[in-house]
Amino acid sequence: MVGELMHEQTEDTAALEECPPWCRRSHHRGEVHADDQHHVSRPRRIAVVTGDPALEPEDLAVAGAVVARLIRRTRSDQTWVEVVSEEGRDVRMVLTVESAHRLLAVLQELVAIGTA
């Protein structure tokens, strides 16, 4: 792809490490493909309602969807959680699993307070 840096692979490095159990990619051994540079999980689609309640009335909130998945570059131990808008660019968050865990704890606390 334009602008993507491709690393040269040899047969030794192309013998990709074992995929994580959640990876859904079909890696092409012995060939160089941009998609082979990372592992991805099955995407999960989540219906959401977004808005800006500090600036806009609630009736301007918009229903949409985000897609969440795990992603990890090959030859890396760092796993990321990616959450992006299904359409458009309204939502884009890419966090380490550790950061996502901290965010989850805060979101659970806020949701519990907000629904009490």
| Mean of per-residue pLDDT scores for the chain | 83
Give the C-alpha separation, 63 to 90, whole Å.
Answer: 12
DSSP notation for 95-115 = EEHHHHHHHHHHHHHHHHHHT
Strand pairing of 80-85 and 38-40?
Answer: unpaired
pLDDT digits (tens, 9 = 90+) for 36-45: 688 999 999 9
Quick one: average pLDDT of 56-72?
94
Give the residue with greater pLDDT, 92 vs 74.
92
Q: What is the mean pLDDT of residues 46-67?
A: 93
Lowest model confidence (mean pLDDT) among 26-35, 66-75, 103-112 = 26-35
Per-position b or e across 62-96, b if 16+ CB within 10 A of its CB = eebebeebbebebeeeebbbbbbeeeeeeeeeeee
Residue 47 has pLDDT above 80, yes or no: yes
Q: Supply 109's token pair.
A: 């606390």
Domain ranges of the chain: 40-114
In the predicted model, is pLDDT for residue 50 greater than 80? yes
User: What is the rounded average pLDDT of the residues 28-40?
Assistant: 69
In this prediction the pTM is: 0.75
Q: Which residue has the tokens 């865990």?
A: 101
| pLDDT for residue 6 is more than 70 | no
